[in-house]
Amino acid sequence: MQRRHFLQALAGAGLLGSLPLTAARALAQTPGALSVDDLPALVGELTLYLGRGEGGLYENVLEAIQKRNPDFKLNIRRGVTAALANTIVAEAQAGVRRADVFWAVDSGAIGLVDEAGLARKLPADLTGQLKEGFRYDNWSPVTGRIRTLPYNTDKLTADKIPASVMALPDSGLSIGWAPAYASFQSFITAMRLLEGEKATGEWLKAMNKRGKNYAGELGVVMAVERGEVDVGFANHYYTLRLKAGKPDARVGLAFTQNDAGCLVNASGILALSEGDLPVNFIRYLLTREVQSYLASEAYEIPLVDGVVPPQGLPALDTISPPKMDLTQLADLRPTLDLMRRVGVL
C-alpha cells in the first residue's frame, strides 16, 4: 500500500477501499477491530516520544492521524527506544514530565517505564480489543513480531532444523546471528528468564564458536538467502520483506517450540499523562486501518481481532511461543553483562 493512498484513506473515511481486494473481503468477513470512523476526534496537543523503527512507516501513521484531526497537534521527539525510555525515567526523577505518550519498538523499554510507576492505567474496553495473551493494564501492544529461524531452502528443509533453540549449537549447521542487535538481546533476555543464566551462558559460549556475526538481522536473512550460512536468528518480518521484493528468494521460516526461539515480542505504547486525549490517541493505533497498514507494509502481526495478518506467516495459534509477560524483557542489564562476560559482545 503506497504512503499517499494510506494518508488519504486514513485521513478521510477509512482505509478499506485502498486495501487489496482479498484483504478487504477478509476484513469485511472478520469484524472486530474498530474503524477510525468509530473514534472521537482528537482535539488538543500531545507530546509523543517515538522510538525509531520500521523505516518511517510509523511516521506515516502519525501524519495520517494528524491530517484526519485538524484540531490536534502532535509534538514528536524521536530517538532510540531504549534511550527514550531512560530519558522518561530520568525526567520523572527530576520532577519533569515532557512526554504524554511513549511508543516503543520493543516491549522491554515499555517495561522499564512501567516498572518506574509512570504509566497510566488504560481502560478495559481498550485493552479488551487485543488478542488474549497481549492484554496489559498499563500499556497496549501495537503489533507483534515472532523470533524465527530463517533457513536456506536449497540446503535444508524445515524438518531438519531442531525444534529447540538450545540444540542449535550442536546441530552441525552453519549459523548467522547479530548479537549486538536489540531484538537479539531481547531474545537472549527471554532465554535467560526461561532457561536460567547458567544454561544461557553455556549456549552463548557454544554459539560464539559456531555463529557468524552480522551487523543486523536483515543482514542475517540476506546471508542465509545467499547460502553463506544454513540458518540464522531474526524477527519474522525481515524474511517476509526480502521475499516481497524477491519472490524466488531461497529462504524459508522455521520455528522452535515453547522456548525463546519463537518468542512473540511486540511494539507497544503507554500513556504518561492523565486525561482522555492520550488514551484516544492510542485507540487510533488499534484501528483496523492502522493495524492493516502495518501488517501489509511492515509485515508486523496485528494484535487486534478482525485484521488480516501478513501473508507468508502462520497464524499465532499454530505456533508454540513461550508464555511470558513481555514487560519482563526490561531486565536487560543482566543480559548485557552476561553477553560481555562470555565474550559475545
pLDDT in tens, 75-91: 999 998 888 999 999 99
Q: Does 211 map to a domain?
A: yes
Q: Is the pLDDT of residue 221 over 50?
A: yes
Res 54: pLDDT: 57
Q: Does 130 map to a domain?
A: yes
Task: Count CA within 13 A, CB hemisphere, residue 218.
Answer: 8
pLDDT confidence bin for 33, thresholds 50/70/90: confident
Q: Is the pLDDT of residue 30 over 50?
A: no
Q: Does 324 map to a domain?
A: no
CA distances to 179, 270, 297, 335 from 340, rounded to whole Å, are 11, 31, 36, 9
- Average pLDDT for the chain: 89
Res 332: pLDDT: 87
**What would the grid cell of residue 45 be?**
496537543
Type of residue found at 170: D
pLDDT confidence bin for 27, thresholds 50/70/90: very low
Give the separation between CA 190 and CA 259, rounded to whole angstroms.
Answer: 8
Q: Are residues 138 and 257 in the same domain?
A: no
Q: Is the pLDDT of residue 129 over 50?
A: yes
Decide: 120 and 274 in contact? Cβ < 8 Å.
yes
Q: Are residues 254 and 178 in the same domain?
A: yes
CA distances to 120, 145, 146, 223 from 161, rounded to whole Å, are 43, 20, 17, 17
Q: Are residues 335 and 238 in the same domain?
A: yes
Q: Are residues 203 and 335 in the same domain?
A: yes
Angle at 344 between CA 338 and CA 345, to 5 degrees: 85
Phi, psi (degrees; rounded to nearest 5) at 148: -135, 170
Phi, psi (degrees; rounded to nearest 5) at 212: -105, 125
Q: Is 151 marked as a binding-site residue?
A: no
Q: Does 57 map to a domain?
A: yes
Give the separation between CA 6 and CA 291, rounded to whole angstroms.
Answer: 12
Q: Is 293 marked as a binding-site residue?
A: no
Angle, in degrees to the nearest 10, between helices 236-245 and 217-226? 50
Phi, psi (degrees; rounded to nearest 5) at 91: -65, -40
pLDDT confidence bin for 9, thresholds 50/70/90: low
- Cβ contacts of 22-31, under 8 Å, gap ≥ 24: 23/292, 23/296, 23/308, 26/308, 27/288, 27/292, 27/306, 27/307, 27/308, 30/305, 30/306, 30/307, 30/308, 31/306
Decide: 72 and 43 in contact? Cβ < 8 Å.
yes
Q: Are residues 288 and 207 in the same domain?
A: no
Q: Are residues 36 and 20 in the same domain?
A: yes
Q: Are residues 132 and 236 in the same domain?
A: no
Res 311: pLDDT: 87
Decide: 255 and 146 in contact? Cβ < 8 Å.
yes
* pTM (2 d.p.): 0.85
Res 17: pLDDT: 33
pLDDT in tens, 289-320: 999 999 999 999 999 988 889 988 988 888 99
Q: Does 41 map to a domain?
A: yes
Give the separation between CA 41 and CA 252, rounded to whole angstroms.
Answer: 43
Angle at 243 between CA 318 and CA 22, to 5 degrees: 65
DSSP-assigned states of every residue in 256-317:
-BSSGGG-EEEEEEEE-S-SHHHHHHHHHHTSHHHHHHHHHHS-PEE-BTT-PPPTTS--GG
Q: Is the pLDDT of residue 250 over 60?
A: yes
**What CATH number corresponds to the domain at position 119?**
3.40.190.10
Give the separation between CA 161 and CA 249, rounded to whole angstroms.
Answer: 19
Q: Are residues 7 and 99 in the same domain?
A: yes
Q: Are residues 132 and 270 in the same domain?
A: yes
Q: Is the pLDDT of residue 251 over 50?
A: yes
Q: Give me the domain span that covers residue 237.
A: 146-263+329-341
Res 57: pLDDT: 85
Distance of CA 160 to the CA centre of its chain: 28
Q: Are residues 285 and 136 in the same domain?
A: yes
pLDDT confidence bin for 282, thresholds 50/70/90: very high
Tell me how many domains the chain contains. Answer: 2
Neighbours of 224 (CB within 10 A): 32
Q: Are residues 159 and 138 in the same domain?
A: no
Res 257: pLDDT: 95
pLDDT confidence bin for 14, thresholds 50/70/90: very low
Q: Does 44 map to a domain?
A: yes
Give the separation between CA 22 and CA 191, rounded to whole angstroms.
Answer: 38
Q: Are residues 179 and 104 in the same domain?
A: no
Res 55: pLDDT: 54
Angle at 161 between CA 159 and CA 163, to 5 degrees: 90
